[in-house]
A and B are shown apart, each in its own frame.
Chain A
Amino acid sequence: MYLSTEVAERERQANQSRVISLSTWALSIALVGLAISPVTRNNRPTKTALLLSAAALTASSQASATNLATHDRVLQDFRDISDNQRQQLIYEAMKPADILKPSEVIAAPPALLTHNISAEIAANLKSTVLLGAPRAGKGYALAKALELLPDNVDLWLIDPKDDPNESHYWPQVPVTQRVRFDVTTLNSEAVDDKVSGLFERFLLASSSAERPKLLVVDECSPGLSKGMTPKAYKAFMGRLATICSVGPSKGKFVWIMAQASTVEDLAMTSGNKASFRLAAVGHAQQTEKSWYSSLKRSMQVEPPADALTGYIQMLDSEWGYSQPFQLTPTDAHRANEPEFGPESQAVLEYFQQHHPDNPRTLRQLTQAGFARKIGLTSQPAMRAAIAPLASAELIAEDDGGNFLLAPS
């Protein structure tokens, strides 16, 4: 940093030199004018003295001009230095993105959504088609949604799987309003009878906007589409499509679960898409790519972004991370099993074993030994592994983007 007093002194000297130089120069011209004026023209000694004085003043004028040049040069040096320092200060205050040229700036990828299908479809009752690959968790997502529904909803269920592992999914549905059977053990006519029997009772049951009725059809396709006779299945699906489009005003709703690979079996296509809500669940790595492409073929839903990992959900044609299910007391017997994937589990163990109080950035985590071992070397993958832990409030993120173990 230069001394401002020194600069001020230099400026004072420069101005002084400028004044002296100009005034002596003007004076010398005036003396020459006086020397050739009629008053002194004939007085030779006076004229010579005037011209000699003019020459002396000219000499001092030139000397002052030389000083002025020196002062100006020093002042210019000070300006250059302070320019550099100002530039340096501006540079230090800038963010890295500002320093890059516009052509070098890499646009940040769009933020990835996090869906909670269960909460979202329970919050706003509407006829819904939930598509999901096998073992992707669509039954569990819908069971959670049933838990979140208000009490005034009249629940009905057709469950052609009758999987004992999933028997705890539907405790809210009254026993008299559910039909559960194993479609693989029955012939088509028997399945027709069971489905149409419950469906007739569902249609006849009273409903209003204050007490809506909701029919949950599990495993509609391929379970029912292959299990029922084609004629009965077509009639059944036609009625479901009608309920989708005209039911809401009468308080009639259906929730249909199916696998997207056979979605053509459903009466719901992209043509009458507006009458129902389309949701889907899948797994970014474990679900086959062909499942997503068939979903795109039948429903024009774009496949999920490559950055997504783990269990993912789709709502309104947008794929996002799946928010982990909140455990409820009825799930107590399942609480001992970890809900998290192996990657999230590894991250949690790393935090618990290595200085729990020490916050870490995403970059530090990807460079840790455990991350290299299980292949979590990219920051999006690490963020995906942390997301379920953060949702479960086991790991917290502070304002600076550092992660640390949440106090238990």
Chain B
Amino acid sequence: MSAPQILIENQNALGHNVEQISLDTNRVNIHSETTSRLANAISISSRGLWVDVSSWLVYCAAAFSVASLALDMGAAPWAVALLFGVPLISLTILIGAVIDRRPALAPHGMIRFLLLFIGAVIAVS
């Protein structure tokens, strides 16, 4: 996001002078800020690789197992679809957005999908 530009006009003995300056600003670019935060959430951490991957796997497995248990215990399928499908679709959109905005993170996004799938397999099998 570019900083605001203003014109300063000055008339003195040396003549008429117009000067354009840019105002300093501390405002951030919302689009790039959002992109980097999403990328941080989806990219696979190089420092805590095993904890990061396994925690994602465990959270996915827990969520799918709760959904699976609800269906087993006779909950209405539309309610389960609504309760777990909306977050699942949101997560899918999130990963897709990161791959779209940062193509370099495409492998990370694919691994997140894979972990999601493995978590579902653990819960359902």
Contacts and interface: CB of A to CB of B under 8 A. Distances in A.
Q: Do these two chains interact?
A: yes
A29 B59 contact: no
Given A58-B54, A62-B51, A45 B69 contact: yes
A51 B54 CA distance: 12
Contacts of A45: 69
A139 B24 CA distance: 87
A61 B57 CA distance: 14
Interface residues of A, number: 20
B72 A44 contact: yes
Given A51-B65, A54-B61, A54-B62, 10 more contacts: A25-B54, A28-B54, A32-B122, A44-B69, A48-B69, A48-B123, A55-B61, A58-B54, A58-B59, A65-B51
Interface in A19-60: 25, 28-29, 32, 35-36, 41, 44-45, 47-48, 51-52, 54-55, 58-59
Contact of A41 (B48, B55, B125): B125
Contacts of B48: 65
B125 to A, nearest CB: 7
Most chain A beta carbons < 10 A, residue from B54, B59, B68, B72: B54
A32 B61 contact: yes
Contacts of B44: none
A59 to B, nearest CB: 8
A55 B58 contact: yes
Interface string B48-76: 10010011011101100110110010000
Contacts of A59: 55
A35 B119 CA distance: 12
Q: Chain A binding site: helix, strand, loop or mixed by DSSP?
A: helix
A36 B122 contact: yes
Nearest to A53: B62
Nearest to A62: B55
Contacts of B58: 28-29, 32, 51, 54-55, 58
A17 B42 CA distance: 25
Interface of B: 48, 51, 54-55, 57-59, 61-62, 65-66, 68-69, 72, 122-123, 125
Interface in A171-196: none
B49 to A, nearest CB: 12
B125 A36 contact: yes
Given A58-B55, A61-B51, A62-B55, A52 B122 contact: no
A65 B55 CA distance: 12
Contact of B122 (A28, A35, A61, A65): A35
Given A28-B58, A54-B58, A65-B48, A48 B122 contact: no
Contacts of A36: 122, 125
Contacts of A58: 54-55, 58-59
B15 to A, nearest CB: 52
A61 B125 contact: no
A266 B37 CA distance: 99
A29 B66 contact: no
Given A35-B122, A62-B55, A65-B51, A52 B72 contact: no
A285 to B, nearest CB: 62
B125 A52 contact: no
A55 B54 CA distance: 10
A48 B66 CA distance: 6
Nearest to B61: A51
Nearest to A28: B58
Nearest to A45: B69
Contacts of B69: 44-45, 48
Given A44-B72, A45-B69, A51 B123 contact: yes
